[in-house]
Amino acid sequence: MFTFLTVNCIDVPRKFKLLEELEKGEKGFGDGTVSYGLEAGDDMSLTYWNGTILGPFGTVHDNRIYSLKITCGPDYPKIAPEVRFYNKINLPCVGSNGKVDPSKFSILKNWQKSYSIETILTGLKNDMASSSNRKLPQPGENEKY
């Protein structure tokens, strides 16, 4: 059974969308401050992903590396993935268990099928750099959930 994504009136199966994201993640993109890839190379379902965000320069996150787990369920990209930080972080959209709360993170709250893992990671990095979050006190660098 395939889950489909409509792109320009053409349905694209879930697996094709995720394979495209995997290829982009492996090649690298942007300025290199966010990256992602499969948690396990043999995950044929393309469900479990790791993400990394380098803390934005000039913020309390500067020189920190944040690791995340992204779970793309069977209805992805129709339904947003679950996103969880491994490293403790103080952001309004992140709960005490490290999970990004979709009701508090606009990209997940207003999810669109055209969004991607890259969209999420870039959005979180931008949230870290926002004027309201750039100076929030943070837990110790090596603290984990």
- Domain ranges in the chain are 15-129
DSSP string, 88-105: ----TTB-TTSBB-TTTS
Residue 13's DSSP bridge partners are 4
What is the per-residue pLDDT for 13?
85
Residues in contact with 96: Cβ distance below 8 Å, sequence separation at least 6, in sequence order: none
pLDDT, position 27: 86
Task: Give me the average pLDDT of each 10-residue run along the chain (145 residues).
Answer: 47 86 88 93 94 96 96 96 97 98 98 96 97 96 91
Choosing among 2.40.50.140, 3.60.20.10, 3.10.110.10, 3.30.1050.10, the CATH entry for 15-129 is 3.10.110.10
Tell me, what's the pLDDT at 6?
A: 46
* pLDDT for position 12: 66
